[in-house]
Amino acid sequence: MRIPLAIIVACALVTGCKRASAPARPDGGGGGAGATVITQPNGPTIVQCPATGCPPDSAGPPRDGGELVVHVEAEPAILCDLVEHDAWSRWIAENVVTETLLFQDPWSGAITRRLAASFEATADALTLHLRPGLKWHDGQPFSAADVVFTIGRARDPAVGADQRSDFDPVSAVETPDANTVVLRLTRPAPFLKQALAHLSILPEHLYKGKDLRRAEASRAPVGTGPFKFVSWKQGDELVLQRNDAYWGEKAHLDRIRFRFVRDKEVAFELYKRGELDVLWQVPATHFDEVRSDPKLTGHRLLSWTPRTYFFIVWNSERGRLADPRVRRALTMLVDRTRFDEVAFGGHARPITGPYAPGTPSYDATITPWPYDPAAARKLLDEAGVKSMKLTFLYYGASRSAEQLGTLMKEDFAKAGVTLELASVDFAVQLDRLRHHAFDASALQWTLSLEQDNYDLFHSSQAAGGQNFGSWKSPAADALLDEIRKTADDTARHALDRKLHRLVHDEQPYTFISMREVESLLQPRVHALLPSQDGFTFARAWVSH
Amino acid sequence: MTGIARRFVVVPLTLVGITLVTFALLHALPGDAALVQAGTSRGASPEALAAMRHQYGLDRSLPAQYADWLARSARLDFGESLVDGRPVRAKIAEALPVTLGLALLAAALAFGVAVPLGAALGWLDRAPVVRATSSALYAVYALPVAAVALLVLRAGAPWGARTLAGMLPAAAVLALAETVKLARYQRGALLDALAADYVVTARSKGLGAAGVVAHALRNALLPTVTLLGSELPALLSAAVIVEQVFGLHGIGMMAFDAVMTRDVPLLLGITTVGAVATLAAVLAADVAYGLVDPRLRGRSA
Amino acid sequence: MSAQRTLWRRFAATPGARAGLAILAVVVVAAALADLMPYGPEAQHPGGISAVLAPPSHAHWLGTDDRGRDVATRLVHGARVALLVGPLAVALYVLLGVAVGVTAALGRRVDFAVGRVVEIGLMFPTLLLLLAIQGVTSSTSLAEVALAIAITQWPYVARLTRAEALRVAALPHVEAARAVGAGRLRILAVHILPLAVTPALTAAAFGIGQAVLFETALTFLGFGVPPPTASWGELLAQAQASGLAPWLLLPPTVAVAAVVLACNLVGDGLRNALSARSSGGAGA
């Protein structure tokens, strides 16, 4: 079996992934409108979550106490999400142990308060008023100094935080008093509030003068959140405990145990034995059997779509791949529907561009290029390509990438394109991507609700940035530059849609799909809802 | 200087040789720890990568890096893991007992089953049941470890066990092939011993069957033990698969991860420990061989 | 009776040796005729999930895998991989092992050096080497997998050969040859090598089975023959990733077991045929 790696599993985080939990409100956002709930006498309760989020379950009232055991596939190396880019690192820590200044609803994108009791945004400043009297889990007082410290680290290029460029418009960070932080802006900062909503504030007294990766606090995080860190036995499990001194609404659970099980099949086995309460992702091979398994009666099966899309990046600087017609032809040779069926049992949604479908940035009028080998062959002829040889680079442990590769190999051959599969380990793939030493590669990105695609598509990002395909388009550059300067949401979304259309025409990526995830919860688990940003641990409770 | 003592002198040289090769290979691989940690993330700018490389000492020249490692390891300081900064010694100390426990448990199981089994097969040499059992043993020997491991897990074996008792199914799987090998060896050794002159003499003198077997067995045991000693390295490498399937966090999995994350200090530490263990096992086997056959004394097996 | 007939008689007299040979013959024939199978080994059933992960049926005798590929076809094609990788790996490591091992008979100093070289070989970080080969070339081919297997196994052959070479070197007629003044190398080539090779040949027979097991393990861990090539290790890995469906798990297991069993039986026969000793002795 292929062994997944701690660092890669979930996604490349374009901007932080956040977890949904609003302490002073009921379950994050107004989720669930339009959900379909199917209760079965001989099978699990199937909940189809719409784009507004998963609906809360109707059981109640919540009971305090008990322990929750959560399956984690890829154990993070450290728990400091400023430098650890793995999804689970965030899902365990952010807004569970540590907290952010603002909170972003993972479904609607609405930004509200959290550590900041209130905030004001003007054209040249963002002022945040912190809640007074907060304490860190170790008893030290929380203050604006911690915020300034954290933002300083986020902006430090040597740290490599995802949010760094979101703070570019900030010229100065001021603290008029211990509970106020003012960010002075030199120009509009459209992505700043979102960045703050995904920036866990770090305790300065534990990190000052230390390297973020090496500090003790990154292995035993100290925060202000509803849960406190207890212990972490590497390779085994990580334990959190309820923070009874929490400033907001206290959590119900006594303890959460995150159990690290690399193999999805083994985890599934353990779930069935009752050793795990939460399975974030049912393995694709069991999708159908799980829906009608009588042994899972009373369990909840939540079907939802994370904002992660699977795609093929073409090296737009190499030979024939520089011609958009060739890339378009290759896209038309990829049978995305068949791939979705084979890889995800059909549980996937199409996507045509680098924005979250259903958001105003996504141009819903664009239809995907069809799977049409004949038309592809014609396009190739038009571009003067008789035959072509390409190598498809992918991370060997990714089963879906391998499935995609084998499907493509077969289909491409029909149009005279020879595709060779190169399965490599993660480090090699990264190296080849960064050195642009590939023809095509399979990757996935996670989308923010306000997506800044500058790093992916701007020509300046080809050398050393995330523009692995070296796509250089002056039109795209102009749009991306403009997007970064447009604070007005409506105007910016219109620009986003323009970029969407451009990317669709030029196909620097072949967009495959967004896979649906089925999360499985034991009958005793209540009020635990998954989302792109993690689980609602603060609201969850167990019935025994 | 006797042969065995001479070997000890060479040990440090051998260790340097192996670690040097490991170091060179790891650096020849594309990608480094900084790249793996940064991944495809937005924050993985050239400055961030450079800062990480500087912090891990990866921007020094290769000879300088190795020389530094060598100097530290001579003081038994293997440095810190590049992935989480924990001392390499601590990480190995956590994982080594698991693998050693697994391997020794497997060896014990194999030995415990193989000796009586092999002795029985040797004693009953001409009986038809021997033919049937031998064939069955061969079939068992041929099963791929991975398949057996998966089947055992499916049948309900515990996963992620931390106690010796919990590791029994995993050890049993690991022991399977070894048991067969040892049983056949034991049978052969017993047959040889039974045919030896002194046994024939003892029989003619009227020594009871039990006495004869005991005497022959004692002589036959030694070759089996020596075989076990030299099989330990192979057992340790087969442990990787078993560890992976049963969720045991031993050295095998740790070495695998260290390679994938290009964690140079951790891998060098594991290589050193592994090399020392192999050398010890081989040396023990050779001493045993020397005891069995005086002609081979002082030489390696 | 000619020497060859004696060899064959001794071989055939070993229980199971002929059965082993028969099994191998079947596998070889199946591999040769693999293209006659009704489906291609990589042909993914067009259209639809109904044809994916299907249990054995009239159309697919061993069912299909998660891409709708016919398992029986892939099983037979896997035989090709096994029969290519196995003998190639064995040939490589027998050559290397014998070459290194036999030089031990050249003298005490050389013997010491050979012993140390073999030790290093035993401690070699194979996993790392595998990745190095994979990382430096853009893909792994069967030859590289065979090379990787060879690198793990040659020390064992070297040890066997060395022990045998030393034993032969102590034989009276060899001692006599040296006393007469024959050069060391000549003695090595003429007297020692032909006899010392015997255990290596036996090891080779067992080794093919071992190599198949190895390839299975390597592919299972993700380092062997890369997909989509149908090797038995790949089939096992897919069985594991597809929830251990029995029609995916059992065929490659049985196939590997059969080949390894056959090789072991043949190896036993070879040992009996080639050596003067008749007792059971050590398993490979």
Residue C138 C-alpha, separation from nearest chain A C-alpha, in angstroms: 6
Decide: A240 and A228 in contact? Cβ < 8 Å.
Answer: yes
Question: Can you tell me the distance from the alpha carbon of B150 to that of C66, in angstroms, rounded to the nearest whole number?
Answer: 18
Nearest to B227 among C129, C264, C282 (CB): C282
Give the C-alpha distances (Å, rounded to integers) separating A152 from A18, A100, A147, A148: 20, 15, 8, 6
Cα pseudo-dihedral C236, C241, C246, C247, rounded to 10: -70
Cβ–Cβ gap C282/B143 under 8 Å: no
CA distance C63 to C78: 16
Compare B220 and C101 and report the one with higher pLDDT: C101
Alpha-helical runs (H) found in A58-188: 87-93, 144-155
Written as six digits, the tokens of C89 are: 């790996």
User: Is pLDDT at C221 greater than 80 in this prediction?
Assistant: no
Q: Which two tokens stand for residue A417?
A: 């394109």
Determine, for residues A430 and B85 on separate chains, whether the beta-carbon distance falls below 8 Å. Answer: no
Say which residues have a Cβ less than 8 Å from residue B112's Cβ, sequence separation at least 6: none
Q: How far is the alpha carbon of B42 from chain A, nearest alpha carbon, in Å? A: 5
Across residues C257-273, what is the average pLDDT? 81
What is the spatial distance between Cα A267 and Cα A71, in angstroms, rounded to a whole number? Answer: 7
Tokens matching residue B245: 């399937």
Q: Nearest CA of chain C to the CA of A338: how many Å?
A: 7
* A13: helix, strand or coil: strand
Cα distances (Å, whole numbers) of residue C186 to A36, C196, C198:
86, 14, 19
Neighbouring chains of C at 3+ CB pairs under 8 Å are A, B
* Average pLDDT over every residue of C87-107: 87
Query: A431 to chain B nearest CA, in Å?
Result: 5
| pLDDT higher at A351 or C158 | A351
Report phi then psi at C177, rounded to 5.
-60, -40
B-proximal residues of C, 125-154, CB under 8 Å: 125-129, 131-132, 135-136, 152
Q: Are C119 and B280 in contact (CB under 8 A)?
A: no
Q: Are strands A12-13 and A525-526 parallel, antiparallel or unpaired?
A: unpaired
Q: What is the C-alpha to C-alpha distance for residues C216 and C256, in angstroms, rounded to an integer?
A: 8
3 state SS of B157: coil
* B182 CA: distance to closest CA in chain A (Å): 30
Q: Which residue has the higher pLDDT, C90 or C34?
A: C90
What CA dihedral angle connects A403, A405, A407 and A410, to 10 degrees? -150
Nearest-neighbour CA in chain B from A161: distance (Å): 5
Kindly indicate the confidence band of residue B133, based on its pLDDT and cuts at 50, 70 and 90: confident
User: Is the predicted pLDDT of residue B299 greater than 60, yes or no?
Assistant: no
- Using CA atoms, how far residue C67 sits from A176, A473, C54, C248, in Å, is 63, 38, 10, 12
**Using the beta-carbon criterion (under 8 Å), do B35 and A12 form an inter-chain contact?**
no
Q: Are B40 and A433 within 8 A, CB to CB? A: yes
Q: Measured between alpha carbons, how far is B136 from B247 in angstroms, rounded to an integer? A: 30
Give the range among A28-32, B11-15, B236-240 with minimum mean pLDDT: A28-32
3-class secondary-structure state, position C279: coil
Strands A278-279, A227-233: pairing kind = unpaired
- Is the CB of residue B49 less than 8 Å away from at least one CB of chain A? yes
pLDDT of residue C156: 81
**Which of A511, A512, A532 is CA-nearest to residue A448?**
A532
Give the pLDDT of residue B199: 62
Give the CA dihedral B61, B64, B67, B73, nearest 10 degrees: -90
Please judge whether B146 and C217 are an interchain contact, meaning their C-beta atoms are less than 8 angstroms apart.
yes
Please check whether residue A72 is in contact with residue A7, taking contact to mean a CB–CB distance below 8 angstroms: no
Calculate how close chain A gets to B178, using CA atoms only, in Å.
24
Measured CA to CA, the distance from residue B79 to residue B268 in angstroms comes to: 10
Helices (H), chain B: 3-28, 33-38, 46-55, 62-74, 88-123, 128-141, 145-154, 168-195, 197-204, 209-246, 251-260, 264-292
Tell me phi and psi for residue B73, to 5 degrees: -70, -25
Q: What pLDDT sits at residue A366?
A: 96
Q: Give the largest CA-CA distance in chain A.
A: 71
Residues from chain A that touch C42, judged by Cβ atoms under 8 A, are: 406, 409-410
- Which pLDDT score, from 0 to 100, does residue A11 have? 35
C-alpha B296/C-alpha C115 separation (Å) is: 13
Cβ–Cβ of C281/B142 closer than 8 Å? no
Report the alpha-carbon distance of residue A543 to residue A523 in Å, rounded.
8
Residues of C in contact with B147 (CB under 8 A): 216, 236, 239, 249, 252-253, 256
Q: Give chain B's mean pLDDT.
A: 79
Facing C139 at nearest CB: one of A341, A422, A427: A422
Instruction: Say if residue B75 is exposed, middle or buried (CB neighbours under 10 Å; 0-12, 13-18, 19+).
Output: exposed
Q: Which residues of A touch C138 (CB under 8 A)?
A: 391, 422
Cβ distance of B240 and C163 shorter than 8 Å: no
> For position C133, what pLDDT does the model report?
65
Tokens of A490: 């409506």
Q: What is the Rg, in whole angstroms, of the alpha carbon atoms belonging to chain A?
A: 23
Whether B125 shows a pLDDT value over 90: the answer reads no
Q: Does B163 touch chain A (CB under 8 A)?
A: no
The chains found to touch B (3+ Cβ pairs under 8 angstroms) are A, C
Of A346, A421, A427, the CB nearest to C226: A421
Using a CB-CB distance cutoff of 8 angstroms, which residues of chain A are in contact with residue B247?
Answer: 261-263, 266
Residue A93 and residue A223 in contact, taking contact as beta carbons nearer than 8 Å:
yes
Contact B267/C128, CB-based, under 8 Å? yes
Cβ atoms of residues A115 and A131 within 8 Å: yes
Q: Using a CB–CB cutoff of 8 Å, tell me whether C1 touches chain B.
A: no
Residue C48: the pLDDT is 47
**Cα distance between residue A453 and residue A164, in whole Å:** 14
CB spacing of A285 vs C242 below 8 angstroms:
yes
Contacts of C166 in chain B (CB under 8 A): 296, 299
Cα angle B253, B259, B262; round to 5: 135
Least CB–CB distance from B29: residue in A263, A427, A432: A427
Other beta carbons within 10 Å of B291: 13
DSSP code, position C28 = H
- Residues A520/A289, Cβ–Cβ less than 8 Å: no
Residues of C in contact with B29 (CB under 8 A): 131-132, 135-136
CA C70 to chain centre: 27
Specify the pLDDT at position A12: 35
Is the predicted pLDDT of residue C240 greater than 50, yes or no? Answer: yes
The percentage of chain B sitting over the pLDDT mark of 70, rounded to a whole number, equals 73
Confidence of residue B222 (pLDDT cuts 50, 70, 90): low
Rounded to whole angstroms, how far apart are CA atoms B164 and B106? 11
Name the average pLDDT for chain C.
77
Asked whether the predicted pLDDT for residue C92 surpasses 70, the reply is yes
With CB atoms and an 8 Å threshold, state whether B160 touches A261. yes
- CB contacts of C112 in chain B (<8 Å) are 3, 6
Q: Which two tokens stand for residue B30?
A: 């594309």
In eight-state DSSP terms, residue C56 is S
Tell me how far apart the alpha carbons of residues C271 and C278 are, in angstroms, rounded to a whole number: 9
CA–CA separation, B87 and B99 (whole Å)? 19
Per-residue pLDDT band for B237 (boundaries 50, 70, 90) equals low
Structure tokens at C191: 């007297």
Query: Which residues of chain A have a CB within 8 Å of the CB of B51?
Result: 157-160
CB contact under 8 A, B142 and C220: no
Taking contacts as CB-CB distances below 8 angstroms, the residues of chain C near A341 are 48-49, 52
User: What gap in Å lies between CA C198 and CA B260, rounded to an integer?
Assistant: 41
Phi, psi of A125 (to 5 degrees): -160, 150
Distance from CA of C122 to the nearest CA of A (A): 25
State the nearest Cα–Cα gap between B198 and chain A, in angstroms: 54
* Helix H or strand E encompassing B162: none
- Which residues in chain A have their CB less than 8 angstroms from residue C242's CB? 285
Closest alpha carbon to A522 in A272, A251, A262: A272
- In the block, tokens 């592809």 appear at A376
C73: left (phi over 0), alpha (psi -120 to 50) or beta: alpha
* Cβ contacts from A onto C, under 8 A: 80
Q: Please report which confidence band the pLDDT of residue B205 belongs to, taking 50, 70 and 90 as the band edges.
A: low
Model confidence, pTM: 0.85
Find chain C residues with C-beta within 8 A of B14's C-beta.
116, 119-120, 123
Asked if B45 has any chain A CB less than 8 Å from its own CB, the reply is yes
Cα A435–Cα A440–Cα A442 angle in degrees, nearest 5: 100
Residue A7 has a pLDDT of 33
- Contacts of residue C16 in chain B, CB cutoff 8 Å? 135, 138
Which of A338, A405, A425 has its CB closest to that of C131?
A: A425
pLDDT in tens, chain A (544 residues): 333 433 333 333 333 333 222 232 233 334 567 788 898 888 999 999 988 889 887 787 999 999 999 999 989 989 998 988 888 999 999 999 999 999 999 998 899 999 999 999 998 999 999 999 999 999 999 999 999 999 999 999 999 899 999 999 999 999 999 999 999 999 999 999 999 999 999 999 999 999 898 899 999 999 999 999 999 988 889 999 999 999 999 999 999 999 998 888 788 888 988 999 999 999 887 888 898 899 999 999 999 999 999 999 999 999 999 999 999 999 999 999 989 988 888 889 999 999 999 899 999 999 999 999 999 999 999 999 999 999 999 988 788 898 899 889 989 988 999 998 888 888 989 999 999 999 999 999 999 999 999 999 999 999 989 999 999 999 999 999 999 999 999 999 999 999 999 999 999 999 999 999 999 999 999 999 999 898 999 999 999 8
| Helices vs strands, H then E, count in chain C | 11, 0
Mutate to test the interface with C, among A403, A423, A426 (most CBs of C within 10 A): A423
Cα–Cα dist A223/A220, whole Å: 10
Rounded distance between C-alpha atoms, residue C194 and residue B251, angstroms: 41
DSSP bridge partners of A542: A525
Residue with more model confidence, B84 or A120? A120
